[in-house]
């Protein structure tokens, strides 16, 4: 005979499973139109539909950037419960972190330009940056960090920096000249659904991005953190161990 | 030069040009039930020199895969009549289906499907919404170049 507790937990599990199936279905349905919008807009930008004016190019780049925000939101929705339950499948491979940083720079240039922000990337000429990760997931982490910086910074700069703080470790930093975050709020920042009070309501966001970044970086045995102060901007960073080419 | 030669020289020959292209590029079978997305990928892949054979569901895709000469299959998962993975399971049972590389291009990223795809010998699993058509082409070219 089932006890009240076990009845409760099996009904919780059922609800959890239904919730997950529902999110998965909704996300799948969202992703199809998002794919088409992203695809056709990028093809227009690449000249597949002929020449377009610079003004039209700017509008399309903006639309593409907003669409990317939705893609990230859907990815975050899907990822969160899967990572928590250890059900996310990782496709691990070796990749240079500098390459991921360059992709992020390209992807956010239009949005930063539109806001008048200076977006830059700093990579030393000699760098040991080969890491063993799921490329899509590490792309998501970097995109989440750069997206936040661009979103919450009204003027000034956003800078991505890749460096080796010590041998065998690669660090990626995203610094901005945004409003900064109080010491108190920094402690809550990587929690699920937490949104910084000074910025909540000003822009779209689910409060999932940083939480997922933390789960993913920890999954890859790395560390993630923030250095910030009110009115002094913020630097979000993560560190991962580098691998040699022949390692697995 | 007689008149008939002159005439044949002045006639534009787009069909021949397309045929020449066909002989050069790899034959890719796209199995995708969303006709809007299929049109988008087909346009991009053809622009990049691929010959695209298209199918709108798993059954149509299986027939095309067995009857035509394909170098690579790009397969969606959620489709009517026969899902991508069920199609692939049937295709793998045929001699012809044992060696042709298959890449999954889907928006479904559930653990069950990803595991089953790996068991069926799928080498790459690409999430559509994460990549532009050009990036998908680049990934496929990288894969074919390996």
Contacts of A48 in chain B (CB under 8 A): 43-44, 47
Task: Give me the residues of A, 35-64, that contact B with CB < 8 A.
Answer: 35-36, 38-40, 42-43, 46, 48
Report CB contact under 8 Å: A24, B110.
Answer: yes
Tell which of A87, A89, A135 to mutate to test the B interface (max B CBs under 10 Å): A89
Residues 6+ apart with CB under 8 A from A200: none
Report CB contact under 8 Å: A32, B107.
Answer: yes
Report CB contact under 8 Å: A32, B37.
Answer: yes
φ, ψ for residue A179, nearest 5 deg: -70, -15
d(CA A48, CA A42) in angstroms, rounded, equals: 9
DSSP string, A192-210: TT---TTTBTTB---S-HH
φ, ψ for residue B72, nearest 5 deg: -160, 145
Distance of residue A28 Cα from the nearest chain B Cα, in angstroms: 6
Of A183, A186, A115, the closest CA to residue A146 belongs to A115
Q: How many CA atoms lie within 13 Å of B80's alpha carbon, on the beta-carbon side?
A: 5
pLDDT number for residue B23? 47
d(CA A40, CA A33) in angstroms, rounded, equals: 11
Chain B residue at shortest CA distance from A26: B108
pLDDT, one tens digit per residue, over A74-120 is 888 888 878 887 878 888 999 999 999 999 999 899 889 888 999 99
- Which whole-number Å values give the CA distances from B54 to A75, A125, A139, B121, in the listed order? 28, 46, 31, 22
Quick one: pLDDT band at residue A6, thresholds 50, 70, 90?
low
pLDDT number for residue B3? 44
Q: Does A86 touch chain B (CB under 8 A)?
A: no
d(CA A63, CA A208) in angstroms, rounded, equals: 23
Of A99, A122, A120, the closest CA to residue A109 belongs to A120
- Other CB atoms within a 10 A radius of the CB of residue A232 amount to 13
Tell which of A28, A35, A61, A100 to mutate to test the B interface (max B CBs under 10 Å): A35
d(CA A78, CA A175) in angstroms, rounded, equals: 27
Q: Does A106 touch chain B (CB under 8 A)?
A: no
Q: Model pTM greater than 0.90?
A: no
Report CB contact under 8 Å: B108, A28.
Answer: yes
Q: How many CA atoms lie within 13 Å of B145's alpha carbon, on the beta-carbon side?
A: 6
For residues A63-70, average pLDDT: 89
Report CB contact under 8 Å: A82, B111.
Answer: yes
φ, ψ for residue B132, nearest 5 deg: -80, 165
pLDDT, one tens digit per residue, over B54-85 is 999 999 999 999 999 999 999 999 998 899 99
Residues 6+ apart with CB under 8 A from B143: B72, B101, B103, B123, B124
Which among A31, A89, A136 is the nearest to B128, CB-wise? A31
- Residue A7 pLDDT exceeds 70: no
Report CB contact under 8 Å: A39, B107.
Answer: no
For residues B122-127, average pLDDT: 90
For residues A153-174, average pLDDT: 96
Bridge partners (DSSP) of residue A121 are: A160
Chain A residue at shortest CA distance from B36: A36
- On whether the CB atoms of residues B74 and B133 are closer than 8 A, the answer is no
Of A152, A95, A150, the closest CA to residue A120 belongs to A150
Using alpha carbons only, what angle is made at residue B81 by residues B75 and B87, rounded to the nearest 5 degrees? 40
Q: Are strands A234-241 and A169-176 parallel, antiparallel or unpaired?
A: antiparallel
Report CB contact under 8 Å: B132, A39.
Answer: yes
d(CA B70, CA B95) in angstroms, rounded, equals: 14
Of B46, B117, B115, B40, the closest CA to residue B76 belongs to B117
Which among A38, A42, A48 is the nearest to B129, CB-wise? A38
pLDDT number for residue B15? 40
> Rounded mean pLDDT of chain A?
87
Report CB contact under 8 Å: A42, B134.
Answer: yes
Alpha helices in A116-191 (DSSP H): 135-152, 183-186
- On whether the CB atoms of residues A71 and A38 are closer than 8 A, the answer is yes
Tell me, what's the ipTM? 0.79
Chain B positions contacting chain A at CB under 8 Å are: 34, 36-37, 40-41, 43-44, 47, 78, 107-111, 114-115, 125, 127-130, 132-134
Residues 6+ apart with CB under 8 A from A62: A110, A111, A114
pLDDT, one tens digit per residue, over A164-205 is 999 999 999 999 999 888 888 888 888 877 776 655 455 556
Contacts of B130 in chain A (CB under 8 A): 71, 75, 136, 139
């Amino acid at each position: 005979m089932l006890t009240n507790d076990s009845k409760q937990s099996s009904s919780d599990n059922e609800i959890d499973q239904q919730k997950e199936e529902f999110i998965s279905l909704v996300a799948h349905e969202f992703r199809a139109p998002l794919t088409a919008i992203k695809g056709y807009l990028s093809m227009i930008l690449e000249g597949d539909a002929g020449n377009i004016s610079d003004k039209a190019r700017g509008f399309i780049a903006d639309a593409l950037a907003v669409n990317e925000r939705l893609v990230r939101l859907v990815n975050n929705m899907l990822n969160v419960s899967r990572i928590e339950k250890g059900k996310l499948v990782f496709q691990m491979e070796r990749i240079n972190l500098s390459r991921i940083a360059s992709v992020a720079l390209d992807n956010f240039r239009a949005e930063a330009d539109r806001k008048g922000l200076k977006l830059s990337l700093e990579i030393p000429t000699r760098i040991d940056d080969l890491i063993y990760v799921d490329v899509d997931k590490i792309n998501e982490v970097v995109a989440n960090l750069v997206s936040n910086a661009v979103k919450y910074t009204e003027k000034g700069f956003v800078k991505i920096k890749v460096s080796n703080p010590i041998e065998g470790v690669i660090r990626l930093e995203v610094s901005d000249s945004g409003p900064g975050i109080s010491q108190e709020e920094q402690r809550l920042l990587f929690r699920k659904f937490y949104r910084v009070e000074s910025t909540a309501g000003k822009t779209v966001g689910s409060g999932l991005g940083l939480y997922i970044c933390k789960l993913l970086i920890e999954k890859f045995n790395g560390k993630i953190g923030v250095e910030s102060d009110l009115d002094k901007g913020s630097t979000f960073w993560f560190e991962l161990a580098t691998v040699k080419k022949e390692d697995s | 030069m007689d008149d008939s030669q002159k005439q044949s020289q002045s006639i534009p020959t787009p069909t021949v040009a397309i045929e020449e292209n066909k002989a050069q590029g790899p034959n890719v079978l796209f199995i995708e039930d969303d006709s809007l997305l299929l049109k988008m990928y087909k346009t991009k892949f053809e622009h990049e020199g691929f010959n695209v054979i298209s199918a709108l569901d798993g059954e149509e895709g299986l027939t095309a895969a067995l009857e035509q000469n394909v170098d690579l299959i790009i397969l969606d998962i959620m489709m009517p009549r026969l899902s991508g993975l069920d199609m692939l399971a049937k295709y793998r049972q045929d001699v012809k289906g044992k060696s042709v590389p298959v890449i999954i291009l889907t928006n479904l990223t559930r653990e069950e499907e990803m595991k089953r795809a790996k068991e069926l010998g799928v080498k790459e699993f690409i999430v559509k919404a994460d990549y532009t058509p050009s990036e998908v082409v680049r990934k496929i070219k990288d894969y074919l170049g390996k």
